[in-house]
């Protein structure tokens, strides 16, 4: 089955073509240059740029796959969670194509896409076996999910406030490092001492696998306000910030691995590009005998290949959500608990 995937939940307009489980093309148009001056995504600007970018991105995905719309058998589109205005652009385009071409259309949860993205690095007949634990860490989401089977997910915990990528971005903005902040902090941190500045690590008592980053952000703000760092002190501060955020992610994930006893962990989302997080998570995994998988970089950040894959099982089973499907900004993935 040839599936066209469409993704527009945040600030990336993306389309991909998946052919019998094999990725034929994946095109992402980033809006970093649009939102950079603001230090974060401006929702209204994001939806306007999706309107401008979406059709050319779909055309590019089809032409890179060397197919035209006639060859498409079904459409998978992100229907949540995300920015409502952004989601609606991708969803409307998907509905338009589905109606004009009389194609089945399925709505895919963006988080399911992130959980399954690593399978695009593997042969279609050899997906990561269930059960596995998924840690999703991006600019919009931070959560731990137990994937028990295809379409069977449980949310073990998620952030009570900011996403971890947002914490990277806000600290970077505070230090004048530009947007997106994660890569800028990582670059500086490579020259710094992670133990140089003492920063708090939030541990929540209730909901043991939940995260919280807003107190951390305030602590960094307070520190910078009390003692503005000289330029040559920035690498130490960046390394300490990165270490604290990584500690919080690794600590909670290790507890969830111990409690669930699963043998595999998938780490996905933009922050999973972080080299320190990768190294620390890989070390923790080898200590626990857990296989730790990171999708390749282009599949960690938002893309439509993971959405096409997320919709493939249902499209192949003949399902069709039809034109009545709506976008849901807070669409949950799996039951909590
Ligand atoms: O998944 P993504 O591309 O978009 C969504 O938010 O859905 O993630 C973007 C986030 C940003 O917050 C960015 O600062 C962070 O991922 N990021 C990183 C790194 N690369 C991207 N954070 C830490 N270290 C990195 N190397
Ligand atoms: Zn995402």
Closest ligand 1 atom to 114 CA: 1
Residues 320, 288 share a domain:
no
- Residue 123 included in any domain: no
Q: Indicate whether 178 and 215 sit together in one domain.
A: yes
Q: What is the pLDDT of residue 199?
A: 95
User: Which ligand sits nearest to residue 297's alpha carbon?
Assistant: 1
Mean pLDDT (the chain) is: 96
168 Cβ closer than 6 Å to some ligand 1 atom:
yes
* 286 within some domain: yes
List all residues 6 or more positions away from 151 whose beta carbon is below 8 Å from its beta carbon.
Answer: 112, 313, 314
What the block records as the tokens of 63 is 């032409």
Phi, psi of 263 (to 5 degrees): -100, 0
Same-domain status, 32 and 67: yes
State the Cα–Cα distance between residues 131 and 263, nearest whole angstrom. 8
Burial (Cβ within 10 Å: 0-12, 13-18, ≥19) of residue 5: buried
Same domain, yes or no, for 221 and 274?
yes
User: What is the pairing mode between strands 22-29 and 74-80?
Assistant: unpaired
**Does residue 276 share a domain with residue 171?**
yes
3-class SS at 211?
strand
CA of 302 to the centre of ligand 2 (A): 5
Q: What is the pLDDT of residue 337?
A: 65
Does residue 82 have its Cβ closer than 6 Å to ligand 1?
no
| Residue in 112, 139, 250 to alter for ligand 1 test, most ligand atoms within 8 A of Cβ | 139
Residues with CB under 5 A from ligand 2 (ion): 138, 302
Is the pLDDT at 113 greater than 70, yes or no? yes
Q: Are 150 and 220 members of one domain?
A: yes
Residue 17 corresponds to which tokens in the numbers above?
């073509």
* Closest protein CA for atom 10 of ligand 1: 139
Mean pLDDT of 21-45: 93
Q: What pLDDT digit, counting tens, does each position of 221-273 carry? A: 999 999 999 999 999 999 999 999 999 999 999 999 999 999 999 999 999 99
Which of 117, 138, 246 has most ligand 1 atoms within 8 Å of its beta carbon, as the pocket-test mutant? Answer: 138
* 125 within some domain: no
pTM: 0.95
Q: Compute, in angstroms, the gap from residue 164 CA to the centroid of ligand 2.
A: 12
**Nearest CA among 182, 183, 217 for reference residue 199:** 217
Q: What is the pLDDT of residue 40?
A: 85
What is the predicted pLDDT for the residue at 207?
Answer: 65
Q: Whole domain around residue 154: which residue ranges?
A: 130-298
Q: How far away, in angstroms, is 114 Cα from ligand 2 center?
A: 7
Residues 140 and 260 in one domain: yes
279: confidence class by pLDDT, cuts 50, 70, 90: very high
Find out whether the beta carbon of 302 lies less than 6 Å from any atom of ligand 1.
Answer: yes
Instruction: Read off the pLDDT band of 335 (50, 70, 90).
Output: confident
The residue with tokens 């399925």 is 106
Res 15 pLDDT > 80: yes
Residue 238 sits in a domain of what CATH number?
Answer: 3.30.420.40
Give pLDDT tens digits for 65-97. Answer: 999 999 999 999 999 999 999 999 999 999 999
CB 164 within 8 A of CB 249: yes
Pairing, β 142-149 against β 152-158: antiparallel
139-179 confidence digits (pLDDT tens): 999 999 999 999 999 999 999 999 999 999 999 999 999 88
Q: Which atom of ligand 1 is nearest to the CA of 164?
A: 12
Shared domain check, 274 and 140: yes
Q: Where are the beta strands (DSSP E) in 127-232?
A: 132-137, 142-149, 152-158
Nearest alpha-carbon partner for 9 in 85, 61, 62, 74: 85
Helices and strands per DSSP (H, E), number in the chain:
11, 11
For ligand 1, say whether the CB of 39 is within 6 Å of any of its atoms. Answer: no
The DSSP line for 102-148 is T--EEEEEHHHHHHHGGGGGS-TT-PPPSSEEEEEESSS-EEEEEEE
Q: In a mutational test of the pocket of ligand 1, which residue from 29, 40, 175, 180 has the highest number of ligand atoms less than 8 Å from its CB?
A: 180
CA–centroid distance, 6 to ligand 2, in Å, is 13
Q: Does residue 81 line the site of ligand 1, with CB under 6 A?
A: no
C-beta of 140 in contact with ligand 1 (< 6 A): yes
* Whether residue 154 is found in the same domain as residue 73: no
> Does one domain contain both 292 and 186?
yes
Q: Each residue of 284-321: pLDDT tens digit?
A: 999 999 999 999 999 999 999 999 999 999 999 999 99
Q: Which helix (H) or strand (E) holds 3?
A: strand 2-7
Domain count for the chain:
2
């Amino acid at each position: 089955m040839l599936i066209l995937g469409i993704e527009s939940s945040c600030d990336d307009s993306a389309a991909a073509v998946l052919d019998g489980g094999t990725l034929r093309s994946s095109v992402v148009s980033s809006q970093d240059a649009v939102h950079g001056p603001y230090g974060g995504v401006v929702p209204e600007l994001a939806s306007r740029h999706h309107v401008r970018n979406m059709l050319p991105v779909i055309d590019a995905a089809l032409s890179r796959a060397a197919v035209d719309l006639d060859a498409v058998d079904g459409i998978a589109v992100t229907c949540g969670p995300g920015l409502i205005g952004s989601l609606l652009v991708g969803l409307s385009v998907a509905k338009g194509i589905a109606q004009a071409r009389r194609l089945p259309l399925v709505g895919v949860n963006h988080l399911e896409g992130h959980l399954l993205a690593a399978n695009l690095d593997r042969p279609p007949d050899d997906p990561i076996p269930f059960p596995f634990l998924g840690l999703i860490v991006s600019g919009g989401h931070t959560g731990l999910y137990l994937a028990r089977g295809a379409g069977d997910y449980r949310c073990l915990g998620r952030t009570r406030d900011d996403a971890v990528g947002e914490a990277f971005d806000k600290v970077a903005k505070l230090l004048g490092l530009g947007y997106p902040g994660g890569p800028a902090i990582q670059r500086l941190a490579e020259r710094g001492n992670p133990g140089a500045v003492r920063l708090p690590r939030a541990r929540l008592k209730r909901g043991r696998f939940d995260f919280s980053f807003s107190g951390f952000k305030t602590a960094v703000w307070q520190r910078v306000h009390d003692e503005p760092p000289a330029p040559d002190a920035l690498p130490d501060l960046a390394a300490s910030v990165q270490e604290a955020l990584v500690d919080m992610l690794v600590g909670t994930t290790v507890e969830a691995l111990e409690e669930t006893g699963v043998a595999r962990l998938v780490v996905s989302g933009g922050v999973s590009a972080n080299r320190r997080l990768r190294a620390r998570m890989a070390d923790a995994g080898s200590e626990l005998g857990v296989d730790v998988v990171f999708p390749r970089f282009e599949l960690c950040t938002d893309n439509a290949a993971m959405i096409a894959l997320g919709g493939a099982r249902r499209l192949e089973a003949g399902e069709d959500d039809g034109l009545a499907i709506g976008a849901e900004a807070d669409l949950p993935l799996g039951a909590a608990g």
